[in-house]
Structure 1
């Protein structure tokens, strides 16, 4: 499965890159108590360190808001998923537990203030492209609503749109039946190559520590690829 950036995206966001991880043979279940404890501890520290009113001061939030504007999306109307998660937690809401794969994914999203996506590889078809949405790009989102993706940054396979740094689709969602997974990290232009490698490495280690399986592939996709 090849992942690439559409030239139209690279024209608007020339420094945008994607971190791509593929896992095989994972075992997805309820998150273990150890992971829940670690995430809850992190969330408490997050609330002590940051105030909701200062959310925009976090580098990842600030950079992705700027990226959305360059891509033609109003970040106040359509928030990056990482900002939505952080906002929810800083409002005092509990971490929303889904399963061991999604919970690890969401933990790293709030840790680095970056949009992360996790997808069931077996529900995807062909190569994947990160592009700007067309008029007919829409899907049922994980939020239960039909999401219209025209003019927004998204991920699509040969069947159509399935994910984005805003909200992902039910079609590609990870369940306890998922074994082969695709994870995509949306890196803004302020992250150094060294930091990207560090994030990929830490995500891969924790994901397989919790979910088992193997890391079948990792890469960083840029406009040059």
Structure 2
């Protein structure tokens, strides 16, 4: 499959840097407790008793959300929502070893990370503006349609796998007990995004290999100059 951002997205957000990792051999048997504790501690140390909205990574996403006409306190990027929960509850949600790991890394870097079950994705996936005809399944499994021009993740089957860019993922491609192959995407727009996404990708590769030694993965950094990742399982 091919993962990309549309030309319009790159035009509107030329500072965007994305990291994409494809992995297969995922299961629920991995133990990630030590990793979660380590990355959660990093996240808490970064906030140092402050609030998540003060972090430059979060501020950059707040500016983009404001440009999209979204209220920053009503619609938060995924990393801000995780950090807010960590600050208020001193814990992150536990759902699936891979999702839990990605959430902890997301909090540590303050960068949104999305994880998609590839068996639920039809053809290529692109981040682009919605037409309004795409189908999105909310957390309850109910069908919604994104607003026209809303930034979404969408595949060739007309499925919207995330709404409001990095705000909310679809339940359709959520990782579950039967998930084997995944695509993981991290996106940032702050000043040091290029360096930070590169570091985050390296951490993801290392931690996934540690938790799932039999897994196989391939990662790539995407920028406006190199905006596409064409992946096949044989890569």
TM-score, length-normalised on structure 2?
A: 0.83
Question: Are the structure 2 counterparts of residues 43 and 223 from structure 1 closer, same or farther at C-alpha, using a change threshold of 3 Å?
Answer: closer
Q: Among residues 77, 84, 88, which one is paired with 1:87 in the alignment? A: 84
Question: Are the structure 2 counterparts of residues 138 and 88 from structure 1 closer, same or farther at C-alpha, using a change threshold of 3 Å?
Answer: farther
TM superposition shift of 1:117: 0.3
Task: Find the residue that maps to 2:184 and give its secondary structure.
Answer: strand
- The separation in 2 between residues aligned to 1:193 and 1:36, in whole angstroms, is 24
- The separation in 2 between residues aligned to 1:107 and 1:67, in whole angstroms, is 23
TM superposition shift of 1:43: 5.9
Question: Are the structure 2 counterparts of residues 30 and 192 from structure 1 closer, same or farther at C-alpha, using a change threshold of 3 Å?
Answer: closer
The answer to whether the 8 A contact 2:187-2:197 is kept is no
Stretch moving more, 139-148 or 214-223:
139-148
Task: Find the residue that maps to 1:82 and give its secondary structure.
Answer: helix
Question: Are the structure 2 counterparts of residues 87 and 210 from structure 1 closer, same or farther at C-alpha, using a change threshold of 3 Å?
Answer: same
- The separation in 1 between residues aligned to 2:55 and 2:145, in whole angstroms, is 28
TM superposition shift of 1:38: 3.1
- The separation in 1 between residues aligned to 2:8 and 2:40, in whole angstroms, is 40
- The separation in 2 between residues aligned to 1:153 and 1:25, in whole angstroms, is 30
The two structures, once aligned, show a CA RMSD in angstroms of: 2.4
The answer to whether the 8 A contact 2:40-2:107 is kept is no
Higher RCO, Cα 8 Å, sep 6+: 1
Counterpart residue number, 1:25:
25
Mapped pair 1:218 → 2:219: yes
The answer to whether the 8 A contact 2:20-2:219 is kept is yes
TM superposition shift of 1:126: 0.9
What residue ranges of structure 2 are gaps of 5+ in the alignment? 228-235
- The separation in 1 between residues aligned to 2:101 and 2:152, in whole angstroms, is 22
- The separation in 1 between residues aligned to 2:69 and 2:34, in whole angstroms, is 41
- The separation in 1 between residues aligned to 2:144 and 2:49, in whole angstroms, is 30
Matches within 5 A, 1:156-171: 156-159=154-157, 160-163=159-162, 164-171=165-172
Q: Among residues 102, 126, 129, which one is paired with 2:123 in the alignment? A: 126
TM superposition shift of 1:203: 1.1
Task: Find the residue that maps to 1:91 and give its secondary structure.
Answer: helix
Runs of 4+ in 1 over 4 A off after TM superposition: 39-47, 143-148
Q: How many residues in Structure 1 have an aligned counterpart in Structure 2?
A: 222
